[in-house]
Amino acid sequence: MIIDGRKIAQDLRTDMATQVALFGRKPGLAVILVGDDPASSVYVRNKGNACEEVGFYTEKINKPNDITQAELLAEIERLNNDDRVDGILVQLPLPKHLDANQVIETIDPTKDVDGFHSENIGKLMQNKPFLRPCTPKGVMTLLAATGVDLVGKNCVVVGASNIVGRPMAMELLNARATVTICHSKTQDLPNKLKQADIVVTAVGIAQMIQGEWIKQGAIVIDVGINRLDNGSLVGDVDFESAEKVASWITPVPGGVGPMTIATLLENTLIAYKAREEK
């Protein structure tokens, strides 16, 4: 069966729009884009559109490619102190001359709707999460939609990035699954995958994961978004062969992708409610 990320994301947005319509002050999200990378520009535009759909206040801040580290940090400080803004997101990757880690650490952790600040990552690791990284949290929402109990399940996460693989593994551990993290140096990946009841892939290599590596009846969540030479978008998983063995599988596009932005809005709502309660 196919997990319909578009529908699940739309349901989340509809639910949030209903809540927000009753609020006195709107939840606010500021998105900073440095430079004019085409893919990043599309993501930032989509984030802005999603905010408007659910009735959030949104501020899109475009900065030139040659902005200095000090100027960027000053912009974040301004947003840290702006009461209309509940969430701050700096679109990654940043130009090479900027220190992304220092940028992330400068965001007020209570406004860190990406969940990348060390304080929020630390809370996730301690199983006391506050703002959780959007893509892994969105994957947990998709897994919940299958109705499958994760407790004690063998999960294999392929990829160990700070944005997806590592927080994904913590999410699954917090759900009391047994978690294996694989990466580019893992020996005999097919054999590791064959043990998995749940596979989450975030490697960025088109159609690398073959259906014959997947255990019969496994759940397959494909975080990869890769463009083929012919222009079409595909995941890390060879969908055609994997679909035949999986019990549940996410398509690309239309699986995890729409969930990342819907979850960003969820996080902004969580940050908003935390500020309103203060």
Q: Which active-site residues does the annotation give?
A: 47, 91, 114
The answer to the question of residue 89 lying near ligand GUN (CB under 6 A) is: yes
x-or-dash pattern for ligand GUN, window 160-189, by CB under 6 A? ---x--------------------------
**In whole angstroms, what is the distance from residue 50 CA to residue 266 CA?**
11
In order of 34, 48, 61, 67, 88, the CA distances from 75 in angstroms are 12, 18, 9, 11, 11
CB of 145 to ligand GUN, least distance (A): 20
The answer to the question of residue 250 lying near ligand GUN (CB under 6 A) is: no
**In whole angstroms, what is the distance from residue 201 CA to residue 47 CA?**
23
Considering beta carbons, is residue 42 or 228 the nearer one to ligand GUN?
42
In order of 31, 64, 226, 238, the CA distances from 201 in angstroms are 27, 34, 12, 11
Give residues with Cβ within 8 angstroms of 146, minimum separation 6.
Answer: 3, 219, 248
Stretch that binds ligand GUN, among 51-59, 70-78, 83-91, 216-224 (CB under 6 A): 83-91
The answer to the question of residue 92 lying near ligand GUN (CB under 6 A) is: yes
The DSSP 8-state label assigned to residue 53 in this structure reads H
Single residue of 58, 91, 250, 267 touching ligand GUN by CB under 6 A? 91
Secondary structure of residue 6 in the 3-state scheme: helix
The answer to the question of residue 134 lying near ligand GUN (CB under 6 A) is: yes
End-to-end CA distance of the chain: 44
The answer to the question of residue 98 lying near ligand GUN (CB under 6 A) is: no
The answer to the question of residue 114 lying near ligand GUN (CB under 6 A) is: yes
* Residues that bind ligand GUN in the complex, under the rule CB under 6 A: 89-92, 114, 134-135, 163, 260
